[in-house]
Structure 1
Amino acid sequence: MYLSGHEASLDLREVVGVKAVKIPAKSSTLSFGKNAKVDENVPYCIEMQPIGPLGFSVVIITRPGNHRWRCKQVSFQCKDSSLCHQWITAIKEALKSEAFCRPKKLVVFVNPFSGKKKAVKLYRDKVLPLFELADIHVTYIETERQNHARDLLVQNSLDLKRIDGLVCVGGDGMFSEVLNGLLTFTAHDLHIEEMDRFEPVAPDIRIGIIPAGSTNTIVYTTTGTSDVVTSTLHIILGDQIGIDVNSVNVNDQFVRYSVTLLGYGYMGDLLKDSDNKRWMGPSRYSWSGTKSFLANNAYYGEIKYRLSSNSDSHPTDAVKCYSGCDICSMAGQSNSRSTSKVEISAGRDTDLQLDEQSDFMKHSNSQSSDLSGSYSDSNWRTVIGKFVAVNSVTMSCSCDLSPPGMSPYCHLGDGCMDLIMVSQCSRIEFLKFLLRTAKGEERKNLDFIQMHRVKEFSFRPLTEDSDLLSISSEENIPQSKKVKLKRQTSRTSVWNCDGEVIDQPKISVRVHCQLVKLFARGVEDPSLQDDQKRNCCSPSFDNS
């Protein structure tokens, strides 16, 4: 395009929409002064102005900083309304191209109680106008109860094959509800029974999230901010990123899917206590967290985990997951080639992992060994000990309160999860762990912490005589330890599964590589932000 002596280009991938605007045509006017003489013999003409618009505005994306996106209008003036209409039609048709994969029909679920009961207003004021600008047809549903959205999806009440995506306006709990409903529907539609160690199938449609909850971990981790407008624009542009999903089994029975945190001990106790104090609002989490910290409970258990076959990948490797991440791209390509292929590899432990394990034994009195039977793969390990916390994360779990997240170098789509085991320790030691976690500081030098990148893991509490008999059959476990276990195993914790309580402590968890796709692109590398700003519209201009 050529405007006012400047050649400027707009990247269609960054265009939100286009709309007609009325720009007054420039015309010469006659002005008569006080003493002006008017020749009555000269005829006067009235210039006819077109009723239709003489210009149009293209709405593009700008990046003011901190991973936030905003809209900017670039206006163009045409010679006549017909030419204006042609430009608008041409741009709209170009944006509908399959190459852009932009959604045309969406189902939007809104939790009216999210965001201090402001979710509905937030959607109508900030989200809906942008959807209308982008010519997206929306089916709007306000949820009336817990699991309302999940039930609608499982029952196929929405004819999912006719839509391009699902959008949930709420917090992480709302997303979990939509995720579980979509994956269960997909399995049922293909006559797949959700049972122990089944292989879930990736759905064809994407999920978008408009952050409106007390926690917006998934949005923050996949976009770098919990900003409503930014998330809406990612949906409009048709951005797409695959994220890993866990299948969680309790007592060998499938119960649900998880994408953020699975926490036993401290995180489980915190959630269970806070559920009884909902009347306190969001402040209940701080109260329950303090209470659980002061209690400093530790729980006996046995953890079996299968290490990632990539010995170079580790929770402390300082390799961050940004948009276009090479690690996630390679994992996605490998997964797409053969989703049914079982990974068989010679287990190799890095020196770092072996050193960690050696220090960890001092606190947990644990024994690491290769297992037999169903755990014959040499990548399998087992740890027996007393734990303040056992946490598994499938993404970094970044949020406004802790931008680095629980595991800053965890990847969105590498087909792995980071397993963090905190052995019994003093309150001061555990506080040190919590503070370092919140600030994203190094934790590998804490000898009561062990972190591994794993494909799957299982946990069972050591509370029953049958468990003790099973343990006693393993080698290299001192008799004194068995007696100690039997005397002190009277309590168990619960699991915090994406903010939902799982009461049964015995679970097994597997990760499924990039099982679900979101309307997002991952956190953009800050070093590339300036280039993206310049390339969006060069040179910058508002009017023409």
Structure 2
Amino acid sequence: MGNNSTIDIQNDELLACKLGSVKENDPTDGKEVDLYYQPGKAFFTMQIGEIALSKPTVAFKKCRKIIPCEQVYGVSTFEDFLLNDIGSTYRISILKKEENSDKFEILNFYFKREEDFVQAQLKLDEYNFADRDGVERNICVLVNPISGKKVSREYYFSILKPVLSFNSIKHSMFETQSATYIEEFITELDVNQTSFNEFVVIGGDGVFSQLLNALMKHSDSSKLIKFPIGIIPGGSTNSLCCALSGKNPYMASKNIANKSLLKGDIFRVNMNDSKKSIYSTALTYGLPSDLVIESENLRNIFGRYRYIATAVPKFIKPTKFPVYESEVFYKLEDDHQQQSSTDDAHIEGSDLRVCGISIPKIPDGDLRSDSTLFKFGNEWKKINIDEFLFHAIITHENRSSVGKDVNAPFARIDDGFMYLFGLKKCSRIEALTFLSRASKGTQVDYEKYFYQKATELRFKNPCGSYFCSDGEPYKSDDYTVKLLPGFVNLMGETVKE
């Protein structure tokens, strides 16, 4: 090809930064190639042969191998002194996952020259997950083997363990043996003796809630609650994990290995009749709570779809459609981030912030909640709705891993607020209309739908009422809910879809 020829070069064919000549995989018989680094691509190798352009630029022929960043689950570097006899002293290993495959693959590249190896280390350092803050990581992994479709154990062995092992991240796995296992495990944990400094739970929202509550009951809760917590979706709906890593257990594992941290909001529920406090990210009252209680006997038959199996008869039976009574009061304080009380003293000084994510504006007296015009302050305001099909409190968008519905698209796990949303008293047809709109993401404008931003809530329900916190039922007819903004260190990234 002459020097005056022109050719269309695609973006992935352009040279980036040459890291040196290396041998692939087995250095004894591997083919020698050139290794390159390019932003947006972790690395790629080029076939031999140059193309002369009309301008004084030289590009190689089309890349033989490109690994996009999202497929890289770790990069490790080694000095292979035993290979000196064949001239390949330095090695870079990449853990990658094919886009449409459930298997990991390790690719090895062997460098002849130390300077090329050092340059490659610097370029690929951002993919080395093992040592980010100079502290040796040691993760306590808690696996609930019966959550959802009972895939938690499989997710540990086939996804999380390979990623952590490749990145030399220490961890120990424990399977929950009973409903009280996590509480008993954490109670016996000696903060001064344990080498654990992070937690990961594989299961549903209830497993996270069990861990959170156990940590808060511990005598050293102020220390334990600072440990980063990661979640891999192995439950029925996995609402919180979907807010952190989407529905993908691979992405959740990658965020854990990469130690991507954000300050997550939770709330504390005080049940006035029993003085019991629980910590949670989601609470429901009404039809969803009844479905949780009634569907428990169907767990082994329908798994994550047991809620649907329980709900269908309520829509087709000729009996009266359920209505639930509830008096709801709320506060919306502009200075809630700076406030602390005696029983919340351990969160003083934590990094409390409001994330700058763009979400739909909710007026100070949200018209969707039918509340009276409201000014920021410490006064309780009553929502002028007393009959519901359901209402729920969440700190995140309440995304389901089963379907495409997002119940509260205006909420984020780190925006510094909690949200009450729900459906007013309605007929079967109106409830089905809501479900249809929710599946398309258009329920926010539905006349029966309401929502309210808040920093504190109080509920007065009929005697003997139940509510559910992260899928676990509790009996109480009078309870308050207080936001704890930025309270937990969660490993993940807010989903922007």
**Is the TM-score greater than 0.5?**
yes
Counterparts of 1:79 and 1:161 in 2: how far apart (Å)?
43
Mean Cα deviation higher: 230-239 or 301-310: 301-310
Counterpart for residue 300 of structure 1: 325
TM-fit CA distance, 1:74:
6.0
Shift of 1:145: 0.8
Which of 242, 247, 250 is matched with 2:268 structurally?
247
- In structure 2, the partner of 1:153 is 186
Flag the structure with higher strand content: 2
User: What is the DSSP-based 3-state SS (H/G/I as helix, E as strand, rest coil) of the residue aligned with 2:164?
Assistant: helix
Structure exhibiting the larger radius of gyration computed from Cα positions: 1
Alignment partner of 1:174 is 2:196: no
Aligned match for 1:143, one of 176, 180, 203: 176
Indicate whether 1:17 and 2:17 are aligned.
no
Q: Identify the residue that residue 396 of structure 1 maps to in structure 2.
A: 397
Deviation, 1:410, is 0.5
Q: Give the whole-Å Cα distance in 1 for the aligned partners of 2:352 and 2:118.
A: 51
Other-structure match for 2:57: none
Q: 1:38-437 counterparts in 2 under 5 A?
A: 50=85, 54-59=89-94, 64=99, 75-79=108-112, 99-100=132-133, 104-114=137-147, 116-157=149-190, 162-185=195-218, 188-189=219-220, 203-225=225-247, 227-251=248-272, 253-259=275-281, 261-282=282-303, 283-293=305-315, 295-307=320-332, 309=334, 353=365, 355-357=367-369, 360=370, 377-378=378-379, 380-383=381-384, 385-437=386-438
Offset from partner CA, 1:385-431 (integer Å, 9 cap, x none): 22221211111111233334210111111221111142211111122
After TM superposition, list the pairs within 5 Å mapping 1:430-445 onto structure 2. 430-445=431-446
Which amino acid in structure 1 is aligned with residue 284 of structure 2?
Answer: G
Alpha-carbon spacing, 1:164–1:9, altered in 2? closer, same or farther (3 Å): farther
Deviates more, 1:148-157 or 1:232-241: 148-157
In structure 2, distance between residues paired with 1:351 and 1:117? 42
Q: Assess, with a 3 A threshold, how the Cα gap between structure 1 residues 288 and 416 changes in structure 2: closer, same or farther.
A: same
Q: Distance in 1 between matches of 2:426 and 2:307?
A: 23
Query: Post-superposition shift, 1:498?
Result: 0.7
Aligned residues: percent identity? 23
How many residue pairs match? The answer is 416
What TM-score do you get using the length of structure 2 for normalisation?
Answer: 0.70
Q: CA 1:129/1:445 → structure 2, altered by over 3 Å: closer, same or farther?
A: closer
Structure 1 gap ranges (5+): 26-48, 191-199, 311-334, 342-348, 361-366, 464-491, 527-544
1:511 matched residue in structure 2: 483
Query: Which fold has the larger relative contact order, with Cα–Cα distance below 8 Å and residues 6 or more apart in sequence?
Result: 1
Structure 2 CA distance for partners of 1:86 and 1:444, relative to 1, 3 Å: closer
Tell whether the 8 Å contact from 2:95 to 2:166 is kept in structure 1 after alignment: no
Please, what is the CA RMSD of the aligned residues?
A: 4.4
CA distance change for structure 1 residues 251 and 336 in 2, over 3 Å: closer, same or farther? closer
CA contact (8 A) 1:221 1:399 kept: no
Shift of 1:378: 4.3
Counterpart in the other structure of 1:458: 458
> Any gaps of 5 or more consecutive residues in structure 2?
1-17, 22-33, 44-68, 336-346, 354-360
1:304 is displaced (CA, Å) by 0.5
CA distance in 1, matches of 2:193, 2:153: 23
Amino acid in structure 2 at the alignment position of 1:457: L
Q: Cα deviation per residue 1:150-188 (whole Å; 9 max; x = unaligned)?
A: 221133257576322011122222222112112322xx2
Which secondary structure does the structure 2 equivalent of 1:434 belong to? Answer: helix
The structure richer in helix per residue is: 1
C-alpha distance after superposition, 1:413-459 (max 9, x if no partner): 1221111142211111122122222321143341x332111111111
3-state SS of the aligned residue for 2:415? Answer: coil
Contact 1:306 1:457 survives alignment (8 Å): yes
